[in-house]
């Protein structure tokens, strides 16, 4: 075509829509629409194809955003007071800029739609490419056990799984994020040719570009789009003990009783599977195992010992159960192969000639979610405190084309597979909230997706191996999961499959094996700074009393980690309010707080816990070797009698060894244990024994420390120690409410703000704001400045502003 002919070609007509524009370029309809001044939705689809579908993750509707539209030459621009987007009218690509004209990110080219057949119907695969800066670090993509923090040069099929949950969202160190709103398996690729998302089923390219100035701002935009995080009860932040599995109600109640006798704090206990009996009764949602012959007595015993219990429930049902029959009668069960494959629970490999008949249910249909909750009421009415929702991927073995084509009511299973955990977890949350608001919903679940943070759930990293390598991979995996807007995450402390440390199958010798002792303690110390601190696994009993007794290094290290967790509960609970009220995050990669320090961009071995604490867990063996036989979620159940464990000798765990710690630039850091000060922007060697985790406090921080307790609510917070770490001005708000129920949503809570003026050495305690039933009207604060002078002062406080000179 000549230049004359080209100039005479008809330019695409750009039309205004509410908060946006739409046009057609190269046969693709394109719309750009602001949802907030900082978030713009992009939708592209072939002209004439109806592609508008209700989002499962996004719950927000567009705000009334003031926009300006300008068309010039071969481009159309739309901008708010925070963000500008330019659409190339020649190829349909879009570039995004800040208000000063600086490029945020650009699409590499227009969309690509590849024709496919989905469940026998014509559809397309949808792909969009982007061009990132060469050294730009990106985070997110869910829980990927690839050991990477920055997810550059990654190729991954994003979908839910046992030990990985792929979520199509990235956050850049530059302060923007992209959420790709598609639920089919999606291939993410980042290499020298560009960065792209390609979904197996997608009638449209549909994504949200969020500009937040920093990572916190991006996550705030994501939470606005997909839902805010409800408050968890205070007790959920205490210590949790679990096992695969407690085999009787006497066994589980005895664990709680032993903790109380030993004086080792405990708040949560978990009953794993098979309380229902055999595999044909899989997930019956009632106690049919004769070893649990009086479940109400069990519940009452646990509660009388001031502990809480949650119980394992699954996304599948055995053929002899009531829920199976109800769901099957209405066509609400899938036919694909899931766990367990055999009806005989005691044999491995599975006896497939005795198939279990277990089938996963279809949570995409409201009626199925209703039936699920109706049957769950049997456990709820016993006084169960929460739910351990296992296999919420769900387990999906040998998936065939027919399995992926299964109808869900929202299209094929292939089309919506990624949203399975979102739908099934959301079903339980919504039904319990509708039933009562006297107790906050708490769900522990194995899989997560975008938006799931709104459903009161903590997502764990799945059935991981008990190896140092997996411990190291767990930290960046949880940090990247956090970056998808899901702040609540944890892992099986000690790893799940630990049989390689035993002398023979299930002899529990590993608790005396220094190889496992060292790994378990370091995992426990790292878990002290997770949103949930939960010891769990198979092959080895993890309860503290199996490791020895008080006064012995291993026992003491375990107890001290648990006690540290309880000391920090006022800080943790106040941080949880920041997560709920300010869209903050618990576990924070260093780039969130120190984006200018490139040395921290890919430090997957350290993280901030809240605003104040720098956690540098020891993730390598210092006293033993790391060699152990490995297992995974597929091979770990292969039980055999063997003696292939490492031969070990006595280990002196009291010997100090150096650990490398990087202190980010831009602030000073104070050793939590010694008070020693360090300037940031350098690496140091911290000498530690088995009892110590390297832990540093940012200067200008204020940290409240709680009382010595056996469970989270044992004592009121009427005598808190308030630690001030000088070197900069600081502020902290102590949050308090009734510690459970949803009255906080009605404004029934209080905050007390502490402000530190570093130059004047003055602490101002503000007027208390708000009130709630049972609130402390009068209390004492023990103020302590962490510096060589060791200044301290006791202050009586009755809710009125108080100035303390130190």
Residue numbers annotated as active site: 390, 393, 463
- Separation of alpha carbons 132 and 482, rounded Å: 22
CA 727 and chain centroid, separation: 33
Mention every residue, 6+ apart, whose C-beta is less than 8 A from residue 8: none
- Separation of alpha carbons 507 and 727, rounded Å: 53
**Residue holding tokens 């700074």?**
529
Which tokens hold the place of 211? Answer: 């500009």
Q: Helix or strand or coil: residue 687?
A: strand
* Beta bridge pairs of residue 705: 721
Are 200 and 125 in contact by the 8 Å Cβ rule? The answer is: yes
Rounded to 5 degrees, what angle do the CA atoms 525, 531, 532 make? 70
* Beta bridge pairs of residue 397: 337
List Cβ<8 Å contacts ≥24 apart for 276-280.
276/318, 276/321, 278/318, 278/343, 278/345, 279/318, 279/340, 279/342, 279/343, 279/344, 279/345, 279/356, 279/358, 280/318, 280/319, 280/320, 280/343, 280/356, 280/357
Closest-CA residue to 744 (of 591, 549, 574, 627): 574
Are 194 and 108 in contact by the 8 Å Cβ rule? The answer is: yes
Are 453 and 441 in contact by the 8 Å Cβ rule? The answer is: no
DSSP 380: H
For residue 35, CA distances in Å to 45, 49, 193, 309, 792 come to: 19, 23, 31, 41, 50
Mention every residue, 6+ apart, whose C-beta is less than 8 A from residue 485: 169, 219, 222, 223, 226, 450, 451, 453
């Amino acid at each position: 075509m000549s230049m004359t002919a080209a100039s005479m070609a008809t330019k695409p007509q750009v039309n205004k829509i509410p908060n946006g524009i739409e046009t057609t370029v190269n046969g693709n309809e394109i719309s750009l629409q602001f949802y907030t001044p900082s978030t713009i939705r992009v939708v592209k689809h072939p002209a004439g194809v109806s592609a508008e579908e209700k989002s499962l993750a996004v719950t927000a509707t567009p705000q009334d955003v003031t926009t300006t539209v300008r068309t010039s030459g071969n481009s159309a621009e739309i901008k708010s007071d925070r963000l500008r987007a330019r659409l190339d009218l020649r190829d349909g690509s879009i570039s995004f800029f800040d208000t000063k004209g600086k490029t945020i990110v650009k699409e590499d080219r227009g969309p690509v739609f590849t024709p496919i057949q989905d469940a026998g119907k014509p559809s397309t695969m949808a792909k969009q490419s982007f061009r990132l800066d060469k050294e730009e670090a990106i985070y997110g993509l869910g829980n990927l056990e690839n050991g990477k923090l920055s997810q550059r040069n990654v190729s991954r099929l994003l979908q839910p799984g046992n030990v990985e949950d792929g979520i199509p969202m990235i956050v850049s160190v530059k302060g923007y994020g992209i959420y790709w709103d598609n639920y089919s398996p999606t291939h993410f690729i980042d290499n020298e040719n560009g960065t792209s998302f390609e979904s197996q089923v997608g009638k449209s390219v549909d994504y949200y570009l969020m500009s937040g100035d920093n990572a916190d701002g991006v996550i705030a935009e994501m939470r606005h789009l997909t839902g805010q995080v409800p408050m968890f009860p205070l007790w959920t932040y205490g210590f949790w003990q679990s096992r695969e599995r407690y085999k009787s109600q006497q066994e589980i109640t005895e664990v709680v009783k032993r903790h109380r006798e030993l004086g080792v704090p405990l708040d949560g206990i978990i009953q794993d599977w098979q309380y229902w009996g055999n595999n044909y009764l899989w997930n019956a949602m009632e106690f049919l195992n004769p070893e649990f012959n009086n479940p109400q007595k069990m519940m009452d015993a646990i509660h009388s010992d001031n502990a809480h219990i949650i119980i394992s429930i699954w996304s599948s049902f055995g053929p002899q159960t009531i829920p199976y029959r109800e769901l099957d009668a209405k066509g609400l069960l899938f036919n694909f192969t899931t766990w367990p494959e055999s009806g005989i629970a005691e044999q491995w490999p599975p006896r497939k000639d005795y198939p279990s008949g277990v089938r996963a249910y279809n949570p995409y249909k409201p009626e199925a979610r209703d039936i699920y909750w109706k049957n769950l009421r049997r456990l709820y009415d016993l006084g169960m405190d929460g739910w351990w929702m296992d296999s919420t991927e769900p387990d999906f073995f040998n998936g065939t084309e027919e399995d992926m084509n299964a109808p869900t009511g929202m299209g094929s299973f292939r089309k919506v597979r990624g949203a399975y955990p979102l739908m099934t977890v959301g079903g339980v949350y919504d039904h319990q909230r509708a039933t009562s608001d006297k107790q906050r919903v708490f769900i522990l679940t194995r899989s997560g997706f975008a938006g799931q943070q709104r459903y009161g759930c903590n997502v764990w990293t799945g059935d991981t191996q008990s190896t140092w390598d997996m411990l190291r991979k767990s930290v960046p995996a949880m940090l990247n999961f956090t970056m998808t807007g899901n702040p609540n995450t944890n892992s099986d402390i000690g790893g799940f499959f630990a049989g390689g440390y035993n002398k023979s199958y299930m002899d529990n010798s590993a608790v005396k094996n220094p190889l496992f002792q060292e790994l378990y303690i370091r995992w426990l110390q790292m878990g002290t700074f997770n949103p949930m601190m939960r010891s769990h696994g198979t092959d080895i009993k993890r309860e503290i009393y199996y490791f020895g007794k008080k006064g012995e290094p291993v026992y003491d290290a375990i107890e001290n980690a648990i006690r540290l967790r309880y000391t920090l509960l006022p800080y943790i609970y106040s941080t949880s309010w920041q997560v709920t009220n300010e869209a903050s995050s618990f576990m924070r990669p260093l780039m969130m707080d120190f984006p200018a320090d490139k040395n921290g961009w890919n430090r997957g071995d350290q993280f901030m816990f809240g605003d104040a604490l720098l956690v540098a867990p020891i993730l390598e063996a210092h006293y033993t070797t790391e060699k152990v036989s490995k297992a995974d979620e597929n091979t770990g159940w292969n039980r055999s009698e063997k003696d292939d464990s490492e031969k070990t000798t006595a280990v002196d765990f009291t010997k100090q060894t150096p650990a490398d710690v990087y202190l980010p630039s831009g602030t000073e850091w104070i050793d939590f244990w010694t008070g020693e000060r360090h300037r940031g922007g350098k690496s140091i060697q911290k000498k530690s024994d088995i009892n110590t985790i390297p832990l540093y406090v940012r200067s200008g921080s204020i940290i409240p420390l709680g009382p010595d307790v056996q469970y989270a609510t044992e004592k009121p917070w009427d005598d808190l120690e308030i630690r001030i770490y000088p070197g900069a001005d600081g502020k902290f708000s102590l949050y308090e409410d009734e510690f459970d129920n949803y009255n906080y949503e009605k404004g029934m809570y209080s905050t007390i703000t502490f402000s530190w003026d570093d130059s004047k050495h003055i602490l101002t305690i503000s007027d208390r704001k708000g009130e709630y039933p049972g609130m402390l009207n009068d209390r004492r604060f023990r103020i302590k400045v962490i510096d060589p002078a060791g200044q301290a002062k006791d202050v009586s406080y009755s809710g009125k502003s108080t100035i303390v000179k130190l």
